[in-house]
Structure 1
């Protein structure tokens, strides 16, 4: 997911996506611990997507605070 695409999404949808990605991260951690995870890159991609979403949400909060 690209940051420009994330910026176009409404804040409520971003928060829902964030919750879903965090659930996936937790599930992948358990799979990794049990040696069931086959695609380790997927975990890395999800972590980066979470960071991008959090960055956009924080930018929006700061923009609202300045108003």
Structure 2
């Protein structure tokens, strides 16, 4: 997910996206605990996406 795309969204949309990604991350972590994942890099990608979203949310809150 690109930062430019995130900056165009509203705070509510960003929070919804963050919660969706968090759910997906939780499911993948659970699956990884049961058996190894084929693409473990996906866990890192999701964590970084969440961090990007939270950064954009805090930037938007500071400017408003």
SS in 2 for 1:38: coil
Q: Which residue of 2 aligns with 1:55?
A: 55
Q: Unaligned regions of 5+ residues in structure 2, if any?
A: none
Q: TM-score, normalised by structure 2?
A: 0.91
TM-score (norm. length: structure 1): 0.87
User: Aligned Cα RMSD in Å?
Assistant: 1.0
**Bigger CA radius of gyration:** 1
How many positions carry a matched residue from both structures? Answer: 64
In the other structure, the counterpart of 1:14 is 14
How far apart, CA to CA, are the structure 1 residues paired with 2:47 and 2:8?
Answer: 20
